[in-house]
Amino acid sequence: MRDAESAVRAHVAAFNDGDVTALLAGFAPDAVWRTGESVARGSAELAELFAGAITALRPTLTVRTLVAAGDRVACELTERLTAGSGERTDPIAGFYELSGGLITAARIYRAGSAEVD
């Protein structure tokens, strides 16, 4: 079983690699992911969310700060993605809850707006 920090760092690495299979392996089957007004619940919705985002936006994350306490992790990240007319960079904050080394819940906040046009 991975500790919370290692689990979130593995999540970021899989995200940056565009590896949806590895991403999903880091989540509990009933995990809930919230970004802005969007909510994905469970493996099927998470797979759809991440596959769509990775294909359409080609995002990458850089961890700026990560603080772990027990089964909770708070991250300050920089996200680079392609949207609309070109590339954009946004500061984001991610708050993760884990159980047994798997992400059970995440709340992601993007500076300005969590929605990507």
Q: What is the DSSP letter of 83?
A: E
- Taking CA atoms, 57 is separated from 10, 52, 71, 86, in Å, by 20, 8, 30, 10
The per-residue pLDDT for 48 is 95
Name, in order, each residue with C-beta under 8 angstroms of 44's C-beta and a sequence gap of 6 or more: none
Instruction: Report CA torsion sign: 85, 54, 9, 29.
Output: positive
- Tell me what percent of the residues of the chain surpass a pLDDT of 90: 77
The whole-model pTM stands at 0.89
Q: What confidence score (pLDDT) does residue 81 get?
A: 87
29-56 tens-digit pLDDT: 999 999 988 999 999 999 999 999 888 8
Cα dihedral sign, 68-13-46-117: positive
Q: Are the beta carbons of 62 and 75 closer than 8 angstroms?
A: no
Is residue 56 helix, strand or coil? helix
Query: β-strands 38-41, 60-69: how paired?
Result: unpaired
Residue 86: band (very low, low, confident or very high) from pLDDT cuts 50, 70, 90:
confident
**Which CATH code is given to the segment(s) 4-110?**
3.10.450.50
Residue-wise pLDDT tens digits, 5-33: 999 999 999 999 999 999 999 999 999 99
Higher pLDDT, 1 or 2: 2
pLDDT band of 113, cuts 50, 70, 90: low
Spatial separation of the C-alpha atoms in residues 75 and 49, rounded to whole Å: 20
Q: Is 115 helix (H, G, I), strand (E, B) or coil?
A: coil
Which amino acid is located at 114 in the chain? Answer: A
